[in-house]
Structure formats: structure tokens, C-alpha cells
Amino acid sequence: MLRIFLTFLLFFSLSSISNARTITWLAHDFAPYYILNGQYQYQGRDESIIALLEKQLPTITFKRMIIPSGKVIQELSNNSHNVCALSLYKNDDRKEHIYFTDESSTTGLSPSIALHKRLADALNIEDSSEVSLLDLLQDRKLTLGVSMSRSYGQEIDSLINSTPNINLVIRPTRDSLASLTYMLNLKRIDILLGYPSEHYYLAKSMHFEENLTQRPLTESPALSYGFIGCTKNEQGAENIATLNKQLKVIKKTQAYNDLLMRWLPEHLRPLLKSRINSTK
């Protein structure tokens, strides 16, 4: 009888191990969404939201795989793998190769500009007031810094690429936004294009936050949404169903909403909150 019990126990244990479920998350060195080292290590917005999901799913093992940011979509599109990633832009082309949640995983303000506080005062642009990028470039003749090969949305991309006689400084390096932030602080450029959280994180990390500020753009959508994407196979479909359900739970919590605000400058937090509330 003891032998039968031990045999059953061993079989049950092996069965449990073989049925144990793992979700492998793709992470990359892209602050303030993933912060892999330094003073604010592990305080990134996206990695912290993954941690909230992990608490909701104690029976599932979460693993992290760090890869270059340019490889995320390629890795997700390989259906022989089983991986997921947070806060992805969802479009028809990607949906052919990747499963996405219906529920958004992140909501943030769309591309904005960073500039010196003195310039903002001189232009009479109040803290959360929207400003036209076209007006700043064409009428005010300001010099804009942009990262090469990065999309900021159809309207802004078209504006940058098709407006004649505007002053652009383009940086192709891996740390182009950091390099451009340094130039902005030195007033070698007038305005810098990016996302508010990125601007704020870099200014804070480089101790320029007392000098620089950010403003939303009229040419940007009110909000920018990110979704969870998983490999398009049987395991990926199961992961997406589970994660979509849990997103609905964590998005009702204060902890989740605090994370959306974590790397946003103080003066833009009410704007994000009001825009999110207007969509509910």
C-alpha cells in the first residue's frame, strides 16, 4: 500500500512539474520602461506592470529575457518560440504574426516636445498647454532634435519629412535621445521630440530637470496605447487569454495607475489623468 501511495505521489509530482506554465517576457534596455541598471534600476514602468501581473498569477512562472529593442518584434513573430512583450503598438501587419490583448497594457501621453523652461516662458506656453509643432518649426524657426529611424505617428512623421526649410538635427546613435537631451540643455537645439516620460527620465537622470520642461503637441493623438503581444501559437493564445483577463483586474487598482504616472513630469500628470477618465 505504501509503495502504491509513493508511486502515485511521484506520478502526481512529475505531472505537476510537466504541466507547470511559464511566461517568458522580452525586456530591453529602454528607460524609463525598463531600467536595467543605475540609480533607478528595476523601477521602469513596463517591468513594474509585469510585476503586478506576476502577483496576480502566482501559479505561473514569469521569466525575463533581455534582448536588443530592435529584435522584439522579430522574436515575437517566430512561432517556434513562446514569448510575450508589454506595451506594443498594435497594427494590422503585426497582427498577422503576433497575438495581441484586446485590453491595453499601458496608456500614456503621445509624442511631445522638450524645451528649456526659459524658452517656454519666452514663447508664453503654459505648463500643460498644447503647442503646434508646425508653428514652432515653420513660423518660429526653432531647431528640432529627432532620433533617426523612429516613428512619432503619421501626422508628425509627415510634417517632419515634407515641410520645407525647417531646421532639423538628427542623431542616429543608440543613445540618440540622451545625446539630444544633452544638446538641448546646452541650447544647441531649441526643442526635442520624444515621449514625455522619456524626456522627464533623461532630464532627471542627467540632473537637467530644473532647466527643461515638456509640452504636448496639437499634432499628436490625445493618448498613446500599448498592448501585450505573444507568439502566435497555441501557448501564445493561452497566454494572451490569461493576461487579457488579468489586465482588466490590475487596471482598476491604484498601484497600476500610479505606475502610469511614475515617469511623467508633475505638470502633465493631471492632463494624462483627465484624458484617461474621458475615455471611460
What are the domain boundaries of the chain? 21-108+223-265, 112-216
**For position 18, what pLDDT does the model report?**
38
**For position 172, what pLDDT does the model report?**
83
Question: Using a CB cutoff of 8 Å and minimum separation of 24, what contacts does 246-255 make?
Answer: 246/53, 246/56, 246/57, 247/53, 247/101, 247/103, 247/104, 247/105, 248/103, 249/56, 250/49, 250/52, 250/53, 250/56, 251/103, 253/52, 255/52
**For position 133, what pLDDT does the model report?**
96
**For position 66, what pLDDT does the model report?**
93
Nearest-angstrom CA–CA distance, 127 and 107: 21
**Positions of the chain with pLDDT under 50:** 1-18
**For position 150, what pLDDT does the model report?**
80
Q: Name the pTM for this structure.
A: 0.86
**For position 19, what pLDDT does the model report?**
52
Domain 21-108+223-265 CATH class label = alpha beta
Q: Which helix (H) or strand (E) holds 181?
A: helix 176-185
**For position 256, what pLDDT does the model report?**
97
Which listed CATH number (3.40.50.920, 4.10.490.10, 3.40.190.10, 3.40.50.300) goes with 112-216? 3.40.190.10
Domain 21-108+223-265 matches domain 112-216 at the CATH topology level? yes
